[in-house]
A and B are shown apart, each in its own frame.
Chain A
Amino acid sequence: MDYSDKVIDHYTNPRNVGEIENASGIGTVGNPVCGDIMKIYLKIENGVITDVKFKTFGCGAAIASSSISTELIKGQTVEKALELKNGDVVEQLDGLPPVKMHCSLLAEQAIHEAIADYYRKEGKLTEEEIIEKCKLKNNHNACPHQIDSL
């Protein structure tokens, strides 16, 4: 697999691996059938992501996408984190092979799911508003034979 040095660096030494106890929001996307599952934990204080951890079952590109995404959103406001696109993840990794593009999409979606979970716990927004704000209706399509086993 033709991976950039940045991708190699991130799957060799992934940043922010782990769990957060009493996390403000947790998002899980993907499924074991496809071979990719990404789980993102967020700690949010006053609308700012103060800590982020991840766990990923998947290939080198999936691990690297998760790792760099956690770096990109740490210290950002929730609104800013929602703006992170999979294209940004790919750019920050100095590119991904074409067959691995869905890994970056999984990272984007995992963050959106985690933020949606945070909004739900907060209880200020309606489910429709959360779906709209976190663009959840576009989610869960990164894996071509997505089966909602999770």
Chain B
Amino acid sequence: MNYIYFDNAATTKLDDKVLEEMLPYLKENYGNASAIYKLGKASHIKVEEARERIANIFNAKKDEIYFTAGASESDNLAIKGIAYANKSKGKHIITSKIEHPAVLETCKELEKEGYEVTYLNVDSNGLVSTDELKKEIREDTILITIMYANNEIGTIEPIKEIGAIAKENNIIFHTDATQAVGTIKIDVEDLNIDSMSLSAHKFYGPKGIGALYMRKGVRFNPIINGGHQEKGKRAGTLNTPGIIGMAKALELSYEDLEEKNKKIKELRDYYFEKVKEKIPYIKINGDLEKRLVGNANISFRFIEGEGLLLNLDNKGICASSGSACTSGSLDPSHVLLAIGLPHEIAHGSLRISIGKYNTKEEVDYLIENLVEIVERLRNMSPLYEDFIKEEK
């Protein structure tokens, strides 16, 4: 089957140019980067070169980049690592209600260990209030962790303002930038970011490799113990092909960034326009301006998201939903509930995430099928039936 892929916020297709750079390190150059002989040294050189390439993109220093297995590990390492190493200063952390589970669940674990966590509210567009943040800062606040951009609704948080507030109060600032890296230019100095998580497979790189930027001087403990790799902060043999692939993918992402973003945004706005024109009773979720270019999250009233996804899948279309049925729990997405959507409207959400390989023809195909599927599911919905009767 030919897939029409609109789930680029979940993962992306590996870029052929990235694979090309990785291949020699999956085949003949298999040496352990920590080994002393020439075969290992060759890997070591490439890994350190990649570290520098990655640091340069974010205006960071080479020795501020730590390699991990992905953003979930980076979030765990940053939050737990900072919390453990700084507990003599305090045990209070501030985060938001719409973070990725890798942040939320890590914070919940720390609460069990005696840390206190404040979960900031967001407004109906998913934006954190910097005034509320200022009010929640305490003497014992050691860490602020707020995502750069939300994975479900695409809202971009006021990172620069948050960074300034953190700096002013001498609090460490971590951001989960998983969704932002590759589509937004990030300068850690300008934004006062002390710690930042990223994952290669979100920007056309390989899966299973990520990084944590950690500003020099920030104290943090390792969470994976073992060998001396990554200055003792992250044990485990370095993923040489992954690291090389991540560096390449990152560089490619920031080449012609504005041009690519413009094209993606045009497709996204076209999708919004067409859906608004052709399908009644919808709600666009998230901020329309402060938004990732590829993200389109829409709630279709009176229908449930899983039914929508399954029918799209029958047409070869890959997308995502915040319904309970797809989250594997009984509640719909915590993000959609946090922006104030009632349960039944949150259940009917559809997230389309557009990437660099998508075309206008694909968006047209999606809309054509969506119109038909939404109509069919609504005709099957007792909620729609009641609504129409009330309208009459």
Task: Write the residues of chain A forming the contact surface with B, with a CB cutoff of 8 angstroms.
Answer: 1, 3, 8, 11-12, 14, 17, 19, 28, 32-39, 55-63, 99-100, 144-145
Contacts and interface: CB of A to CB of B under 8 A. Distances in A.
B297 to A, nearest CB: 17
Contacts of B173: none
Contacts of B306: 1, 58-60
A58 B307 contact: yes
B383 A35 contact: no
Nearest to A37: B382
Given A11-B310, A33-B344, A35-B332, A56 B382 contact: yes
Interface residues of B, number: 26
A60 B310 contact: yes
B75 interface: no
B389 to A, nearest CB: 10
A33 B310 contact: no
B317 to A, nearest CB: 14
B380 A35 contact: no
B87 interface: no
B292 interface: no
Contact of A19 (B307, B310, B323, B385): B385
Contacts, number: 81
A57 B324 contact: no
A1 B306 CA distance: 10
A38 B381 CA distance: 9
B382 A35 contact: no
A111 B98 CA distance: 40
Contacts of B381: 37, 55-57
Contacts of B328: 99
A132 to B, nearest CB: 27
Contacts of B157: none
Most buried by A among B323, B343, B384: B343
A35 B379 contact: no
A57 B330 contact: no
Given A39-B385, A58-B325, A59-B307, 11 more contacts: A3-B310, A12-B310, A12-B314, A14-B380, A33-B343, A35-B343, A37-B383, A55-B381, A57-B344, A57-B383, A60-B307
Given A35-B304, A35-B324, A59-B304, A17 B344 contact: no
B222 to A, nearest CB: 36
Interface in B312-328: 314, 323-326, 328
Nearest to B303: A57
18 contacts: A8-B310, A12-B310, A17-B380, A32-B344, A34-B330, A35-B304, A35-B343, A37-B383, A39-B382, A39-B385, A55-B382, A55-B385, A56-B380, A57-B302, A57-B383, A59-B306, A60-B306, A60-B307
Contacts of A62: 304, 307
Interface string B89-100: 000000000000
